[in-house]
Structure 1
C-alpha cells in the first residue's frame, strides 16, 4: 500500500444485471450506515504511488497461452498483477478491510497472522489464510486465473470467529499500464472499472457489492481513508475522471460465515475487462479451478519424472514448484521471453508514478541461458528452443552482441555490455544442436565479437565492474570452443582455428590475468573477483558499487572462478581452483540455520540497509542461494556429494516453495529470519533453475550442462 495508507491502519450474482441489482439493493452488513452517493471524486491526483516488496510467496498464471495475466502474492495479500505481457505490472495490491462499523477498521495485511498453502502440490494454486491477531475473524483466499480469459479469480471465505457483526470491504489499488498515477475509474453496471491507456481492469463479485466507490489514494475520496476516519464508508463516488493514483473500494455483503468469488478482469478497454470478469463469474469458480489445476497437471506429466535426488529427500513438491514457476516466467505473447523474476526488488521503496519502474520483469540472456538449461534438465526441450529463438530473433544485435537486458519487445533497458551474455547463447545453441545455417549466420558474428572485444569485459556477471573476470572468461572460452565446433560443421576451418587459438590462449592466461599470488587473504594465492588490467598483483584500487567502498582489488573475491570448472575450462582439481576455495569460504561463507550460504563477493552493498530498510542504492549484500547450488555443482565435478547444497536451497525457499535471490545473513531481526528470504527478488528464475539443474545433475553424477567439446579439450 502507499506509505500514507500504511500509517493509518487500524483504530482501537454473476451476470451484470445481478451485480447491478446487488449494488442498488443489497443492504450493508448489519450496523452499516448507507453512504452518500456523489458523482465526481475530489482529490486528484492523490499521493505518490509505490510498488510492493519483491518477497513474493506465491506466483500464478494458467498453463495456457490464452490467459495473459500473472499474479503475485506477498504479505498476506495480492500484489503486482501483470497483463498483457510480463513486463507490464498493473496492480499495486488488493486486499480486504474489516470493520465493525463503530470501533475498529483494519487492513488484513497489517492486522492478521498469515500463512500460505499449496492445496495441490502439482498446481500453482496458492491459498492465503489470514487470521486476525485479536481472534475476531479469519479470511481464506484461493487464487486461480481463468485459463481461457485474462481474469484472476479469488475464492474467499470470511469467518467471524467472535463478536460481530463485521463488515468486509475489498480494497483495490490499481497501477495500470506500468504506472500508478495515470488511472481513472468508475462504477459501471455494478462493477468497479478502471483504465490507463490500452489497459483496463474490472473488479466484480459473485455476491455483488453493496457499496462501491472510486477515489484518489491518501485523500478524502480514498475509501480506506473514509473508513479509517469513523469506521464507516460515508461517501460513494461514481467516478474518478481525472488521472491519478486511483483506489477503489467495495463493500461485500457478509454474515458470520460467507463464501464468494472476486473476479479481476483485464482488457484493452473497460467494456472488455468487465465482460471478461462477468464471463468468468458465470462459468463458476469450481469449474475454473479444475481447469486451471488440470493444465498444470498435464504440464508436469509432460516432463521427466522427478529425479531420485529429490524424491529420496522429500523434495518433490519443491522440485515441481520450481518447474512450474520457471514455466510461469515465460511471456505468452513473446514466446521464449523468460523474465528474471515477476517481482520488483524492494518495490515498496520505488516510486511508481510514471512508467516504467525497472524491476526484474526484463530478459537477461545470462538468466535466460540458466532457465533454458534447467528446462532441458526438466525435459522441456521446446521451452529451451523457444528461449534460443527469442535470443536470436529478438535480442541479437547485427554486430553479434547481445544487450545487457531488454524489455520483452527487445528494446534495451540498461545499456552496458557483458561478454558472458554474448557467449551463453552460443553455448546454448550448441547444447540444443541448433547449428544450422540460420543460427550459424548469427552466432558466427557473436563468436567474432568475443574474439575482437574480449577477454576483458565492460561488466562481469554481477553487472557492476569491468575488467578480467574468471566467470566471464570461462563463458567466453566455452562460447568460442562450441563456436569452433559449429564452424567445422559448416566447413569453415579458418574460423574454427581462430576461435580455438583464442580460446586456448585465454585458457592458458586466465590465471595470469586473475589469480593473485600476493593477496591479503589466506596464503595470498587465489582467484580475484575481477582485475582491471590483467595484472592481479599490482594492487590497484577497486571501488565497488552500492556503497561497498574502495579496496585493493586483490582483497575482493567471489565464486566466479567455479564457472571455469562448470563450463569445462579447468578440471575440478586444478591447483588454482582448489587453492582458492579456502579464501573464498573464509570471506564469503555463512553457516545459516538452513545450511551454508555465500555472498556474491565481500563488501557487497546490494541488499537491505544495516537496519533492514529497503535497498535504495546503498546497503549490505546478503547471501545468494544460487551460489549454494553452484558450489554443489563444483562438488559434483570434484567427485563429491551435493546433497547438503540441494537440501539447503530447499530450506531457503519460503512457505510457497519459492527460492529467493537473497536470504538474511545474520541473527534474525529487523523483520527477517536468519537464512530466509529478504525483500529482494522472490522467486528468482536463476535460483529456481539452479535447484532443478543441481537435482538432475546429482542423479547423473555429473554436470550435464557442461559442454563436452570444452571439457574434452581442457578438463578431461
Structure 2
C-alpha cells in the first residue's frame, strides 16, 4: 500500500555540527558516515559530493505514552574505537532506557554496521529506527519500499543509488517525512506502531521499523549500491560477517597507515589524542573517486535550516586543500598531498587560476577568483618538492601559469579568504609574495632565469608596499582590506587578524613594529576569552554567525554575529612561537574546542549560554564540524611547536623579505594595478602584455625619450623608466607604441 502524505516536509541538510566522522581506508568501501546528537547523521556514497542518507534515528516508545526521540531527548557520550581509528561508540542515557550503539564501516564493502544494545527500564518499551534518505536539491525526491520478507528488508532509492537496511525487524513501514513517517505514527497512535505501508515516493520519504527484541544486543546493516539486489546482498554479507570481524578489519586497515610522528604527540596537551583524530579526519575528507580532492567539511553550516545546494562545505577550495595537504606532509604522510597537487593540476584553468571552489565532479560552484587560492597551490608544489615527494615537474603546467595569473591580476584580489569582499589584503599578499618567490625558485631550477628575475621584481615590490597599502597610521593597525592608494583610491579601515599571515609566511618579522601595534588592537577588539581558552573572531563587523539570541545564521542574516574560529588560535600560536613566546596554553585551548568527539568546529559560541539552542560558551556553535582547515591548522601548530619554526615559512622568502630585502625596489605598473604615484627615488617598471616601445616625457611632452620593452618570457614585456631622478611633485607622462600602432592614451606617474 502506498503511504499517504506525499511529498512530505521540505528537505534540508543535516546538522552542521557533527559529533563524529568516519570512513574506511582504501578504495573498496565508498561510504562516509557522520554522527550528530548520538545518532547516525548524513552518510555519503559513492563520493563525498552529497549525502545519500540524511539520517537514521532511534526512537523508543511504549503503548499509552509519548514516544522518545533518542537524538533529541537522551544524553549522549561518545568515544573512538581507539585514538586515530574513526569507528565510534555512543552511549545514550534516558530515564526510561539505556542504549549503546557502535558504528563501523566494512573496509571491504560499501556498508555501515550498527551494533547496539538496548536496556529498557520499563517492560513495555520498544526500540524503533527511522531512516530518511537525503533529497538532492532540485530533484523530485526519493522512493522507499518495504520488502515483505522475514524479517522485512527496508529499501530506498535516490536516483541510481540504492540503500538497503537489514536487521532484526519485527515490522516496518514506508512513509513521508512529517506526514506519515514512524515518528508521526507513534505520536498519533499513543506510542504504538500502527502503520505498515509498503511504499512511498517520490518525495521526502522515510523508512521505519520496530526491532524484534525487548532488550539485548542487535545488529543493523546499512548498505549502498547502484543496483537494488546488490545493496540487499551487501547488507546481508555484512551481517553474516558480524561486528567483531568488521571491526577487526577496519582497525587493521587504519593502523596500517603511517602513524602520527611521536614529536607531535609529545608537544600536544592531550597525549596526541586530537592529533591522531585530526590525522584521521583529514584522511577521511579525501574523495575516493576524485582522488586528491579533499572537501572542506562533511556537511552544510547550520544545515537544519539550509534548504539549498549552495551553502555547503562538501566542496573543494584550493585554500583548504593547501592546508589539509601540507598538514599531512608535516604529519609524515606525503602520498595524499601529492594526490592533492595532481588534483589541483587537473582543476587549474587554462589561464592559470582555480575556481573559488568546485564540486567533486569538477564543476565550479561559486564563481569568483581569490588570489590566495592561486598562490597556495604553488606553495604546496614547492613544499612537496622540498620533501622530495614529487615524481613530476609542476613548473611548466601548474606553477608558471599560476604565477602569470598573479602577475596579470594582482596585487588586488577579487575576494579575500573570507569570501565577502576584495581589495588589497594582508593575508592574500602574504601568500602571493611567497608564491611569486617560490615560482622564481622553480623558474631558476628550470633555467628560466629571465622569468625568475621578473617574478622576484614583482614580489619585492608587493612586499615593500604592504604597509603603504594595508597599514592605517590613523588607526594604528593593519586593515583587513584596502583600496589601491598607488592608483589614487583611499585606504579602508576594518580591523582583522589577517596580518598574522605576513609573519607566518616570512614576509615580516614577528617583532616588526606594525605587527606589534596591530596585535594590541586585535586583542582589544577581536579576542574572546571563553571557558575553553582564548579565541579570536575574524574581523570587526563579521556577520557570519548566530544572532545574539542564538538564531542560526541563515535566519539571523544581517543580524548575525561572526563568532571565534578555533583555527585562528593556531594562526596566533604560530605568531607567538615566532616571537619566542610559550604557546602551550593556546594548544590546550585548541584541544578544548574540539570537545569530547575530537571534532574541531569552524566556530565556537562566545555569548551567554542559551541551553534551549544548545549554545554554551567555548563550545562549538551550529556552523560546521569537523572543519578540515581547523584540524590541519592544529597539526601544523603542533609541528611548528615541535620544530621551532613555521612550516609555512620558506627560507628563500624569509631571506628576501626579512634578512636581506632589496633596497628601494621599483614600482611595477600593470593593467590590473595601474600605478599613478610612486615614492621618490624609485624606478617604475611598465609591465605590458605585448612588445612595445614606451615613450615618456618628464616636461609635459616638450621633449620625450623612448624605452623598448624587454621580454620576460612570461608573456609580459617590461620597460623601465628612470623615475628615480624625479623630485616629489614632478610628473612623468608615458604611452606605448605596439606593433599595430599607438596605445591611444597617455598615462601619468607622480612622484610623492
Note whether the superposition's TM-score is higher than 0.5: yes
Q: Is the 8 A contact 2:548 2:607 kept in 1?
A: no
Aligned residue runs from structure 1 range 346-357, under 5 A: 346-351=302-307, 356=309
Q: Is the 8 A contact 2:608 2:616 kept in 1?
A: yes
Q: Is the 8 A contact 1:629 1:690 kept in 2?
A: yes
1:561 maps to which of 490, 499, 511: 499
Counterpart check, 1:152 vs 2:112: yes
* Cα deviation, residue 464, structure 1: 0.7
SS at match of 1:126: strand
More moved, 289-298 vs 693-702? 289-298
Cα deviations by residue, 1:199-248 (Å, 9 ceiling, x for unpaired): 1111111xx211011111122x32221111122222211112x3101011
SS at match of 1:144: strand
More moved, 619-628 vs 110-119? 110-119
Q: Is the 8 A contact 1:187 1:214 kept in 2?
A: yes
Q: Is the 8 A contact 1:363 1:408 kept in 2?
A: yes
* Superposed structure 1 runs of 4+ greater than 6 Å apart: 535-540
- Name the structure 1 match of 2:63: 101
Where structure 2 has 5 or more consecutive residues not aligned to the other structure, the ranges are 660-752
User: Which structure has the higher relative contact order (CA within 8 Å, separation 6+)?
Assistant: 1
* Cα deviation, residue 536, structure 1: 12
2:343 maps to which of 369, 376, 390: 390
- Name the structure 1 match of 2:198: 238
Q: Is the 8 A contact 2:14 2:42 kept in 1?
A: yes
Q: Is the 8 A contact 1:518 1:537 kept in 2?
A: no
SS at match of 1:694: helix
For the residues of structure 2 that align with 1:93 and 1:179, how far apart are their CA atoms? 19
Q: Is the 8 A contact 2:535 2:564 kept in 1?
A: yes
TM-score, normalised relative to structure 1: 0.88
Counterpart check, 1:378 vs 2:331: yes
Cα deviations by residue, 1:23-52 (Å, 9 ceiling, x for unpaired): xxxxxxxxxxxxxxxx22222211211122
Q: Is the 8 A contact 2:21 2:35 kept in 1?
A: yes
2:481 maps to which of 518, 525, 530: 530
SS at match of 2:87: coil
Aligned residue runs from structure 1 range 146-185, under 5 A: 146-160=106-120, 162-175=121-134, 182-185=141-144
Q: Is the 8 A contact 2:258 2:332 kept in 1?
A: no
Counterpart check, 1:600 vs 2:538: yes
2:524 maps to which of 564, 583, 586: 586
For the residues of structure 2 that align with 1:346 and 1:532, how far apart are their CA atoms? 33
Aligned residue runs from structure 1 range 137-536, under 5 A: 137-160=97-120, 162-175=121-134, 182-188=141-147, 189=149, 190-205=152-167, 208-219=168-179, 221-230=180-189, 231-240=191-200, 242-255=201-214, 257-301=215-259, 303-307=260-264, 309-310=266-267, 313-351=269-307, 356=309, 358-393=311-346, 395-433=347-385, 434=390, 436-519=392-475, 525-534=476-485
Q: Structure 1 residues 122, 401: closer, same or farther in 2, change over 3 A?
A: closer
Q: Structure 1 residues 259, 180: closer, same or farther in 2, change over 3 A?
A: farther
- Name the structure 2 match of 1:661: 602
Cα deviations by residue, 1:496-535 (Å, 9 ceiling, x for unpaired): 111100000001111111111112xxxxx21000013347
SS at match of 1:530: coil
For the residues of structure 2 that align with 1:119 and 1:381, how far apart are their CA atoms? 25
Counterpart check, 1:111 vs 2:63: no
2:632 maps to which of 667, 686, 689: 689
Cα deviations by residue, 1:615-659 (Å, 9 ceiling, x for unpaired): 113311000011011000011112222211111100111210111
Q: Structure 1 residues 181, 247: closer, same or farther in 2, change over 3 A?
A: farther
SS at match of 1:497: helix
Q: Is the 8 A contact 1:55 1:74 kept in 2?
A: yes
Q: Is the 8 A contact 1:306 1:316 kept in 2?
A: no
Q: Structure 1 residues 560, 530: closer, same or farther in 2, change over 3 A?
A: same
More moved, 267-276 vs 686-695? 267-276
For the residues of structure 2 that align with 1:642 and 1:536, how far apart are their CA atoms? 41
Where structure 1 has 5 or more consecutive residues not aligned to the other structure, the ranges are 1-38, 520-524, 541-552
* Cα deviation, residue 704, structure 1: 2.3
Q: Is the 8 A contact 2:17 2:621 kept in 1?
A: yes
Q: Is the 8 A contact 2:301 2:311 kept in 1?
A: no
* Cα deviation, residue 452, structure 1: 0.6
* Cα deviation, residue 453, structure 1: 0.4
* Cα deviation, residue 103, structure 1: 1.8
For the residues of structure 2 that align with 1:66 and 1:112, how far apart are their CA atoms? 35
Q: Is the 8 A contact 1:150 1:265 kept in 2?
A: yes
Q: Is the 8 A contact 2:265 2:275 kept in 1?
A: no
Counterpart check, 1:634 vs 2:575: yes
* Greater Cα radius of gyration, structure 1 or 2: 2
Q: Please give the root-mean-square deviation of Cα atoms over the aligned residues, in Å.
A: 1.8
For the residues of structure 2 that align with 1:180 and 1:653, how far apart are their CA atoms? 35
* Cα deviation, residue 346, structure 1: 0.2
* Cα deviation, residue 538, structure 1: 7.5
SS at match of 1:628: helix
1:126 maps to which of 71, 80, 88: 88
For the residues of structure 2 that align with 1:185 and 1:478, how far apart are their CA atoms? 54
For the residues of structure 1 that align with 2:487 and 2:480, how far apart are their CA atoms? 10
